[in-house]
Structure 1
Amino acid sequence: MAKKASRRKTPGSTPTSSGSSTPSSASSGPIPPFIKVPSILQPFVKPLATDEVYLIHIDTTSPDLKWQTFLVPLVVNILVALAIALRAYFGFFTYPALIQKVLGFDSPVDVDEISASWTDKAQLTLRRTGMVFIDYVLVMQFLAWPINFVLGPMRWRRAVGFQDREVIVRCSNRSWSKKLERNKWIRENEAMRDKIVAAVTPERIGKTGYLLVDEDWNLDYPAMVCAHGLIDRIKKGDGVQLDEFRTAVLVHTDNDGWLIWRVGDENSPAGQQRSAQRDQILAFKDKLTAMGKEDLFFRWVELVQWESSQPGGFTPERQKSAMVQAQKMFNDENVDFSSFWDDLGGMQGIQELD
């Protein structure tokens, strides 16, 4: 154990990289509230982009409301598609003639320049210029709408339908998530942490999924289709229970892979207790960091996680072993372990690290 800890780089020598988050240290494993994604969710997280932050929750709004919120963009995209199709139909007869004219060939759009007045020529020029401009805007600005709608929301609804309980997956907007610093943002960047937590409050996720798209979050339609595909496989015996997709935050780390924070569990009595313990642990990390002993904190976390991950769990014998090793570790760094231990709340205080 000591040999493993000795290979750890100090915070000053550990490089940081940009990208979506990771709350873990370079080698100590995930720091609460994040834990490693359970193996049953690995098929779900495998296709996700590792440089994004993901939010998942279960949409319990009525199927009627889901249909109504889907109907409006459906009608809008149908109208846009019809407008583009209509312009394409007329353009099929108009643009070849205009191209012939530009190339100097005889064309149906030729104008008798001798008999035509300047007013007629000006009106014709403005009319044709306006037509080209409108078609350009339709193609460049609106053509992607129906295409993305078919590949996204339409494909999603065809696969999932309108159910009483649906999995909603949101992906962070790269305009801000790409700026997050690994290993730091979850504890040090309060603004970003608040942005993420605010997106999964009960009030926020009380809306139906389609209404949760904003400047910070987009719906990940392939991920939602994948989630329901895994749920449907329960009948075959190898699926995933719907409850596994309860409210949570997903981030990826280089050292620990995908991590999950079960935000929805924080509202339960047990979750509130874990949250208080977690805040206590992070407060002591800050205390050790202020003493220039941040590496000691990560070595201590690694020790507890190592002992608790052994076969049989965190037995009283392993708890005693961890305490003896931790005491020596702290004493070697000239840190009062007894004071640290009492402030943490004893063995009960470290259950959050299991």
Structure 2
Amino acid sequence: MNRYILYTLLFLGLMSFSSCKKKKVIKDLPSGVIENMTFKETVLIDGHGYDGTIIRNCVFEDISGDGLQIRDVNNLIIEDCIFRNIEEDAIRFRNSGSSDGVQILNNQIYNIKENGILAPEGHVNTVIKNNIIHNVATSNISSQFGSPHHGIYFQGFNVKIEQNTIYDVINDNGNGISIRTYGTIVRNKLYRAKDHGISYFSDHPGDAKQLLIENNVIFDNGKRGIHLASNGETANHIGSALVRFNTIVSNTESTIGINDDLSNVTVDLLANILIRTDGGSTYIYANVPFNQEKNITSNGNLGFVDFSNRNLRLTNASSAINYAVGLTDFPSIDFDGNTRTIGSLDAGAFENQ
């Protein structure tokens, strides 16, 4: 039997089985503060009666569906929770609703078969900060049908993804962060995803807005550190991508890639450290115009504290010290929160102290 047909029958069979077996959903929790509880079925937070609710210090574990679902709620806070051993997504924003200003803070998310966090277009102004997400996207079934899972998979508008640690994204085409519109991705540590560390793909409206990627530490992913791609729909494109002060180590491909169809997007690459350990000489793959300044490239250790163990902070002897001096627009702090000053700007995510 043709392998594609076999996979299709298997997938349809699994879908049919799961649709026949109705999963239990907890959807009658009180609003306000939900804390110190353990859930072993999917929790649905649904409706504006939950606006401003805080979910704190809860455990979501051993769940056959999603861990937590969110729909039609604003200013929800999910903090200091554990999501583990979940068959679908750890946190899923529902396709059939919307949200504004949800905050996902200081959570641990691991042993997840699908996405760590998944959100479609209707969910805006979300903040995802200081979470540890690992050993996610462990199921490879959907990847065979062109729908891989990721650490964070975000289609909503104006998301802020900050200070998260995301690693061991197992799915064959899984990215640490897959962003489909615009927002900011800052001060994250991303490693050992099977595909890219950060991937932009334009299959949702970018509204000609800016995608800011800065102060991230990205290393040892399967392909590129940062990959900017298009589905061919020019109207969906973001207006600009500002990629600056990142430290990126790749082992098999260029550290940054820009798709040929993004010719109408302004791309600025500033003061990044780009390391390619396979000896290749193409650090930025692009056939379309882009702007670059003060990027430093190397095939190995250019003066890191412990390159082999990926402590990519700079030693006093690093060639990245003061390399970005001359730039007048730069992030005010580095990955560690140290202040940057115009007279002593170092390239990459870390300012030497």
What TM-score bracket applies, with the shorter chain setting the length? under 0.3
Which structure dedicates a bigger proportion of its chain to strand? Answer: 2
Tell me which of the two structures has the higher relative contact order, counting C-alpha pairs closer than 8 angstroms and 6 or more residues apart.
1
TM-score (structure 2 length as normaliser) = 0.23
Which structure dedicates a bigger proportion of its chain to helix? Answer: 1
TM-score (structure 1 length as normaliser) = 0.23
